[in-house]
Amino acid sequence: MYSKFWPKGGLPGILHHYTETLVTFEYASTAPRQPHSILFVGGLGDGLATTSYMCDLVRALQPTEWSLFTLNLTSSYQSWGLGHLDRDTDEIAQCLKYIKEYKSEKFGNGKIVLMGHSTGSQCVMHYLHRPNPHTSVPSFDPYLEHALRIPLDGAIMQAPISDRQAVQWVLSEGIGGKSGDEIRPVYEQLVSMAKATVARGESQDSLLPLSMTSYIYPANTPISCRRLLSLISPDSPQSPGEDDLFSSDLSDEHLETTFGMIHQRGLLKHKLMVLFSGADQAVPEWVDKKKLMSRWQVVTDHDGKHEIWDQKYSAVIPGASHALSNDDQAQAREFLVEKVLGYLQSAETA
């Protein structure tokens, strides 16, 4: 179906290959020069330019010195259930390195910012807090390249939701015409199957039955045992999975190993901006978004010892849905664009 947010005929730009098989698209501009870059990473199921509010950002950035890039990952579109954050951030690192070199040759030194939506926010956090390069080699992915991640001039996370708590919400409220009571037995069986498969220590990951995963996730989306366990993280909050970065019940001690590691890794030159959708349909009603963001800020800044969290531009977007794609989201989208533009201006002069 055609998206009402993008103009018919499309928007012009340049398609770049940042690896032999993966591409990034840079939107064209009316500005004479754009030395600065923002790379946008979507969430589960997203691909090249599939997050609708990107159109608003593209138009707002056209007269500025910033150009916006969108990219394809191996895990884009319906392949997210076969991926993992180490591989995603490796590919993002390769793309950022390509953009940095491309812009430097064309304009000289410029700024570079990474922005993630939804699970793209997990990629941003993974990029900022993990060892550089990654030191873990999942047994099912011997081809991980361990790319060295370049420092960023800024980082933005929008809709940093908990996949685990989103599934808990589904188990409580139901989805797709099925009640939570109908979904829960299938969910419990999936967890049992996935745990048993991973416990066998097989060198290759295994797929779960589509007839079962479609109770929780979009139909015909292949999901592996390891990715399912990472997303729903059944042993949380005591032992969170790799994808469980933003749940409201994670301890401050655990947050110290994620948000709290940003300063130590030294990969963020400016500040971290976080935008939470105020009416995010993937966030359970019991989650206090402002309180959660306040906890993240304290841990990120080490209780005021550092100034990493951007207090001026981070915010809960009033009335915003998860991807700001509903028909009533005009004001929310304007709010987001205003915050992002203000943040980029501050990063430009930092």
Question: What are the sequence ranges of the domains in the chain?
Answer: 13-162+248-349, 171-232
Sheet with 154-158: strands ordered across? 13-17, 23-27, 66-71, 36-41, 112-117, 154-158, 272-277, 315-317
According to CATH, the topology of domain 13-162+248-349 is Rossmann fold (3.40.50)
If you average pLDDT over residues 14-30, what whole number do you get?
94
Is residue 204's pLDDT more than 90?
Answer: no
pLDDT computed for residue 347 by the predictor: 97
Q: How many CB atoms sit inside 10 A of residue 323's CB?
A: 23
Give 2 or 302, the one with higher predicted confidence: 302
Q: Rounded to whole angstroms, how far apart are CA atoms 17 and 8?
A: 25
- Position 1 pLDDT exceeds 60: no
What integer best gives the mean pLDDT of the chain? 94
Cβ atoms < 10 Å from Cβ of 65: 19
139: confidence class by pLDDT, cuts 50, 70, 90? low
User: pLDDT tier at 327 (50, 70, 90 boundaries)?
Assistant: confident
Spatial contact of 269 and 151, defined as CB atoms under 8 Å apart: yes
Is the per-residue pLDDT at 157 higher than 90? yes
d(CA 206, CA 188): 17
pLDDT over 60 at 3, yes or no:
no
What residues contact residue 188 under an 8 Å CB cut-off, 6+ apart? none
Share above pLDDT 70 across residues of the chain, in percent, rounded to a whole number: 97
Higher pLDDT, 146 or 165: 165
